[in-house]
């Protein structure tokens, strides 16, 4: 059986098909700004890590359309269960760039006060749950949340993000099975960026696609051009509406590519050919969307340059603010855990404070 062509509305030159979804200009420009912000934040974070100013980072360069297109299709009260590269979802939903950098610098002003690993962004203000680093563990959590919401009569849905590598984990299959059995209002959003660190997708599965795996669990799967932000938006919007209307889960496979290494700890030149990367860059989602906005007279070249300049200034200001942040106080290690701190921990904190001062 032939594999279905991915859903696509914008070709690599930004030319839309006649059936491309029609979105308000304001929303399109908001999506563009969020994609630019995600790209510029990634660029800055890679530099900061190489300079030794932050410890670790996993960039989403080349995958911005998957995060922003899907985020634009969610409601504010929907819940996000991210993987490594979904920080852009939070940015689209209103999380500030300054909070982003406070998190990476581990300051007292960070939401988690420095007690969460880099890139484990979370904040209840935007309904995003922390990632755990153990691949696919967020997926059963998302199904459980979705099932609980329906049980309570809440029509919020769960957006469960994953990479192609997560489809090789047991928790993926557990989550898919429960989602199918329960008709849980969850949408699985899989970034097939072709590499699970150094393992190519063709060595992870013999299936014709990743989307087809949904069929075994009794629900729909669809492959989408993950570098086409309009296709990502439209496919996610329809899947979210089905879930909210009680029609069950969907698995969306976003066909994209990881331009950079898996993380700052990875050297991708050891396992992949640079020509492959160069070919992927010609499908860049940001330049494709930029050409579409100009072609459709939604914005001029100068309008988009102004957005990029504004974003660069925002990123610089956020880095400066985070670097001036204060470290979390030692007592927060226990006072944020216990309402009444046990005596032995009080003694340990006092001793640790004395040790630090000496």
Per-residue pLDDT of 253-274, as tens digits, reads 999 999 999 999 999 999 999 9
What SS3 state is found at 10?
Answer: strand
Average pLDDT of the residues in 306-315: 98
Q: Is 114 left (phi over 0), alpha (psi -120 to 50) or beta?
A: left
How confident is residue 114, by pLDDT bands cut at 50, 70 and 90?
A: confident
Active-site pick, 39, 262, 283, 288: 262
- pLDDT 10s digits, 275-294: 999 999 999 999 999 999 99
Three-state secondary structure call for residue 36: helix
Tokens encoding 44? 């800055």
Average pLDDT, the chain: 95
**Which parts of 216-324 fold into alpha helices (H)?**
229-244, 274-281, 285-295, 301-323
Interatomic CA distance for residues 319 and 323, integer angstroms:
6
What is the tens place of the pLDDT at every residue in 221-231? 999 999 999 99
Q: What is the pLDDT of residue 311?
A: 98
- Residue 185 is encoded by which pair of tokens? 């209002």
pTM: 0.95
Residue 120 annotated among the catalytic residues of the structure: no
At residue 353, does pLDDT exceed 90? no
| Residue-level pLDDT at 1 | 45
* Given the residues 33, 93, 242, 258, the one annotated as active site: 258
User: Residue 288 has which token pair?
Assistant: 């494709």
Q: What is the pLDDT of residue 8?
A: 98
232-259 pLDDT, tens per residue? 999 999 999 999 999 999 999 999 999 9
Domain 25-327 maps to which CATH number in 3.40.50.10260, 3.90.1150.10, 3.40.50.970, 3.40.640.10?
3.40.50.970
**Does the annotation mark 258 as catalytic?**
yes
Residue ranges per domain, the chain?
25-327, 330-358
The active-site residue, picked from 75, 271, 295, 338, is 271
Residue identified by tokens 């974003």 is: 311
Contacts of 252 (CB under 8 A, 6+ apart): 70, 187, 188, 189, 190, 211, 221, 222, 223, 224, 235, 236, 239
The C-alpha atoms of residue 269 and residue 76 are separated, in whole angstroms, by: 40
Q: List Cα–Cα distances, 126 to 36, 58, 88, 121, 221, in angstroms.
A: 20, 21, 12, 11, 27
pLDDT band of 337, cuts 50, 70, 90: confident
- H-run or E-run covering 11: none
Q: How sure is the predictor about 115, in pLDDT bands with cuts at 50, 70 and 90? A: confident
Q: Which two tokens stand for residue 132?
A: 């755990």
């Amino acid at each position: 059986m032939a594999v279905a062509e991915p859903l696509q509305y914008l070709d690599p030159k930004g030319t839309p098909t006649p059936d491309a979804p029609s979105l308000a200009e304001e929303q399109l420009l908001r999506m563009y700004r969020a994609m630019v912000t995600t790209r510029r934040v990634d660029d800055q974070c890679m530099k900061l890590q190489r300079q030794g100013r932050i410890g670790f980072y996993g960039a989403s360069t080349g995958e911005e359309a998957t995060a922003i297109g899907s985020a634009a299709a969610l409601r504010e009260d929907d819940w996000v269960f991210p993987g490594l590269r979904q920080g852009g979802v939070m940015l689209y939903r209103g999380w500030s760039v300054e909070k982003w950098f406070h998190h990476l610098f581990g300051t007292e002003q960070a939401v988690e006060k420095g007690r969460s690993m880099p890139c484990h962004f979370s904040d209840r203000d935007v309904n995003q749950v922390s990632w755990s680093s153990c691949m696919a563990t967020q997926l059963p959590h998302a199904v459980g949340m979705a099932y609980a919401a329906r049980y309570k009569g809440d029509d919020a849905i769960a957006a469960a993000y994953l990479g192609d590598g997560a489809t090789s984990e047991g928790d993926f299959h557990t989550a898919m099975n429960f989602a199918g059995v329960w008709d849980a209002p969850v949408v699985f959003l899989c970034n097939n960026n072709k590499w699970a660190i150094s393992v190519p997708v063709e060595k992870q599965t013999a299936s014709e696609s990743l989307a087809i795996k949904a069929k075994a669990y009794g629900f729909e799967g669809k492959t989408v051009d993950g570098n086409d932000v309009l296709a990502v938006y439209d496919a996610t919007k329809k899947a979210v509406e089905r879930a909210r209307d009680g029609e069950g889960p969907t698995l969306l496979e976003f066909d994209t590519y990881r331009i950079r290494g898996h993380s700052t700890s990875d050297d991708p030149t050891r396992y992949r050919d640079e020509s492959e990367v160069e070919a992927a860059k010609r499908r860049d989602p940001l330049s494709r969307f930029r050409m579409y906005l100009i072609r459709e007279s939604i914005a001029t070249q100068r309008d988009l340059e102004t957005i990029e300049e504004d974003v660069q200034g925002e990123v610089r200001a956020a880095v400066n603010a985070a670097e001036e942040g204060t470290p979390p106080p030692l007592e927060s290690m226990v006072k944020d855990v216990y309402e009444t701190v046990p005596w032995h921990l009080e003694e340990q904190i006092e001793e640790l404070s004395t040790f630090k001062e000496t």
